[in-house]
Amino acid sequence: MKRTPISALLDGFPVVLAPMEDVTDAAFRRIARSLGAAVCMTEFVGVEQLVASSALAERRAGLAADDRPTGIQIYGADPELLVAAARIAAAREPAFIDLNCGCWVPAIARRGAGAGWLRDPGAMVAMVRRITAAVSLPVTVKTRIGWGPESHMPIVDLARRLEDAGIAALTIHCRTAAMGHRGAADWSWAARAQAVVEIPVIVNGDIRSADDVVRALAETGCAAVMIGRAAIDDPWIFRATRARLAGVPTEPPTEAERRAIYRALLEASIATRGERGGVHSTKRHAGVLSPALRQRVVQARDLAEAYAAIA
């Protein structure tokens, strides 16, 4: 496999925290790292917002000194804006810049951004080539196996073309854009792509446990896996995976640890969004708590009630 800057990042621990909107903010990345994650990614950042220096873009693309190695993911439909945004992101000195060519959400894809690029793989490759030429940092791409039915899955040929365009790694969510999150992810497509390129391929989709990580690496021969939705309720998956790969036992999180993690996320969110927004936004992480406490925090109307729920 071709050695790239991303290869070095994955050598110690071949697992990446996926970019997830309204989830993988700085606070969640800090929690994930405390539990064993190494390489993390930001929430995706719209190129229009980044170029306009909006408050949202500044928050999503801001990287503290202890928030590394982290990749900044950007998305958009306009190649000119993508190039401009990539240069702005590069100035933040992330470990790499990731291009979102896989978001299937209709509001994103129908305007040509995210997975919308899969409708015209040639245009995607041309856009990627412009960005790799415009910045000195490594550029990666996250995409899906295709737009629609199996007959239109271009991922194997696309992987070759993206490698030629200069990317340092390729993440493949092993569903089509049309599938969204429905159906099973077919990891065999990532295996086929890794077999024809020298850059690292990162397999994504249905990685729900440490055992899944081991199985995905063995079945695909890929350089790494990317963990997304499973980490929202179970950030301890990184700790369990480190233990599983090292062949040592690990303990499940204690009740006190679950409460401490939720409290840390709550306080960080309040610091960023204010009390009302922080209490509300942290509810998406209620799954880190035991079932007995989840309903209580979901019903909390203010900070006092949220604290009381986890006291």
Q: Which residues are catalytic?
A: 103
Read off the tokens for 283: 């509810």
Read off the tokens for 43: 């929430």
| SS3 label, residue 172 | strand
Whole-angstrom Cα distance, residue 193 to residue 201?
Answer: 7
Tell the burial category of 149 from Cβ atoms under 10 Å away from its Cβ (0-12, 13-18, 19+). exposed
What residues pair up with 142 in beta bridges, in sequence order? 100, 171
Identify each DSSP E strand in the chain by its residue range: 15-17, 40-41, 45-46, 70-75, 96-101, 139-144, 169-173, 201-204, 224-227
The alpha-carbon radius of gyration of the chain (Å, integer) is 19
Whole-angstrom Cα distance, residue 267 to residue 247?
Answer: 35
- For tokens 């990666």, the residue is 140
Whole-angstrom Cα distance, residue 152 to residue 98?
Answer: 24
Whole-angstrom Cα distance, residue 134 to residue 43?
Answer: 22
| Cβ-based neighbours of 249, under 8 Å, separated by 6 or more | 243
Question: In this structure, are residues 59 and 272 in contact, taking their beta carbons and an 8 Å threshold?
Answer: yes
